[in-house]
Amino acid sequence: MKTLGLFVVLFISVCLCACATRPPLATVPFVDLDRYSGRWHEIAKYPNWFQRACAAGATADYSALPDGSIKVVNSCPRKNGSLKTVVGRATVVPGSGNARLKVRFFGPFAGDYWIIGLDEKRYSWALVGHPSRRFLWILSRQPKMPQALYRQIIGIAVEKGYNAERIGPSPSSIGH
């Protein structure tokens, strides 16, 4: 029994040390929301429960609303051929350079949407994460992404503390 108790204490200590040493997730310094608006294609992601019904890569459409918030429309084809669509609203976290958003799809619950990587010249790709590092998406303006660029973005995700082995590409999204 003493051995089990010692093991539990040791395990918790190791977990707490590992969590304490991981630096906070950094976002890009600034996002021009007008340039970020429009359609994005999901190239890859960490698997998550709310996209289990999706048979292929999702799209996300962002557009400015008169009150300064952002309309979010996420869609994906289901296995039965129908289209799953959910509409939400995002607001910018003050002081974040527009790189941190709170997205609400229903009720009072809002999720963190942090832009942690971005093609700042052309806005052709984005890397979106969550401060807990439990969620990750690689987005592109085009439905396919060249393999070399994909590998480069995976490298950025790894530098930011994500596990490359958990990142799953959307079907037919990575080109040669």
* Per-residue model confidence as pLDDT tens digits over 57-79: 799 999 999 999 999 999 999 88
- pLDDT tier for residue 6 given thresholds of 50, 70 and 90: very low
Write out pLDDT tens, residues 78-119: 888 899 999 999 999 999 999 999 999 988 899 999 999 999
What pTM value is reported for the model? 0.85
What per-residue confidence (pLDDT) applies to 84? Answer: 92
Alpha helices in the chain (DSSP H): 2-21, 33-36, 147-159
- The answer to whether 167 touches 48, Cβ cutoff 8 Å, is no
Average pLDDT, the chain: 88
What number of CA atoms fall less than 13 Å from residue 171's CA on the CB side? 7
Contacts of 103-111 with C-beta under 8 Å, sequence gap 24+, read 103/72, 105/72
